[in-house]
């Protein structure tokens, strides 16, 4: 299946739903999105001293979770190319008095405005499938990580239990888009969601993409029966102090 992921189209689509994006995430995941984000942050093994990069940060939920965790990141930089999403995220960061710890920057995942080997860990939550060239973005993230730096990616997949998959696909292709359209008042965004998930490699296929990009110790961990995957990886080399 071919899905149009030109940057201008994707950025415009997310800008159009920015005001309802957080509500929809909670409703459509039955609140599990918060648990998935906490799992991703825990997988990084933070000590409270690290600088973390959150790519495709959206409204900054993962960036804020990294800053709030105990122990959390010393500094978090969130990058996204959708201006309205970033503006919503900035409001949330300021309201949570996290501005001293969390910085949001507009930029492209395929050309990150972050110096080489300048971060200790990186995250991407439900954004890598929206990137025009995911392999390029993975290599960019690898570039920004210090030797030994860790990566955590959350992304949708398909249920690993065959009996569950047809029911889930029916919900995903028919029920979820109707809820999304009703709440967001945006037709294209929640038609795009199931299309993009079904077209994206998941499980070991995406783990291989990370390996080809240069990551080692790559794991693909299914959550919620495989509806979501937590991918873990590391930049080669000894872990450096911070």
12 within domain boundaries: yes
Domain hosting 17: range is 7-234
What pLDDT, in 10s, does the model give residues 128-152? 999 999 999 999 999 999 999 999 9
Q: Nearest CA to 106 among 118, 120, 93, 89? A: 89
26-48 residues labelled b (16+ CB within 10 A) or e (exposed):
eebbeeebeebbeebbebbebee
pLDDT at position 222 over 90: yes
Number of domains within the chain: 1
150 within domain boundaries: yes
Rounded Cα distance between 78 and 104, Å, is 5
Here the CATH number for the domain that contains residue 73 is 3.40.50.150
163 within domain boundaries: yes
15 within domain boundaries: yes
Q: What backbone phi and psi angles, to 5 degrees, belong to 172?
A: -65, -35
240 within domain boundaries: no
108 within domain boundaries: yes
What pLDDT, in 10s, does the model give residues 23-40? 888 888 888 999 999 999
pLDDT band at residue 242 using 50, 70 and 90 as cut-offs: very low
242 within domain boundaries: no
């Amino acid at each position: 299946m071919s899905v149009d992921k030109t940057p201008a189209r994707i950025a415009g689509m997310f800008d159009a739903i920015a005001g309802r994006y957080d509500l929809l995430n909670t409703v459509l995941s039955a609140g599990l999105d918060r648990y998935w984000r906490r799992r991703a942050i825990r997988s990084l093994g933070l000590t409270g001293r690290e600088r973390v990069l959150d790519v495709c940060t959206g409204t900054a939920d993962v960036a804020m979770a990294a800053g709030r965790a105990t122990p959390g990141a010393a500094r978090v930089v969130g990058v996204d190319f959708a201006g309205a999403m970033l503006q919503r995220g900035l409001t949330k960061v300021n309201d949570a008095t996290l501005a001293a710890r969390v910085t949001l920057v507009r930029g492209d995942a395929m050309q990150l405005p972050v110096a080489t080997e300048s971060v200790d860990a990186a995250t991407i939550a439900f954004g890598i499938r929206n990137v025009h060239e995911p392999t390029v973005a993975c290599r960019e993230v690898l570039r920004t990580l210090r030797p030994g730096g860790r990566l955590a990616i959350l992304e949708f997949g398909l249920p690993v239990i065959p009996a569950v998959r047809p029911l889930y696909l029916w919900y995903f292709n028919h029920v979820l888009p109707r809820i999304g359209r009703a709440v967001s008042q945006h037709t294209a965004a929640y038609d795009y969601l199931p299309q993009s998930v079904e077209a994206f490699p998941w499980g070991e296929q995406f783990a291989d993409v990370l390996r080809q990009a240069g990551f080692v110790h790559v794991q693909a961990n299914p959550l919620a029966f495989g509806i979501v995957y937590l991918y873990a990886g590391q930049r080669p080399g000894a872990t450096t102090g911070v």
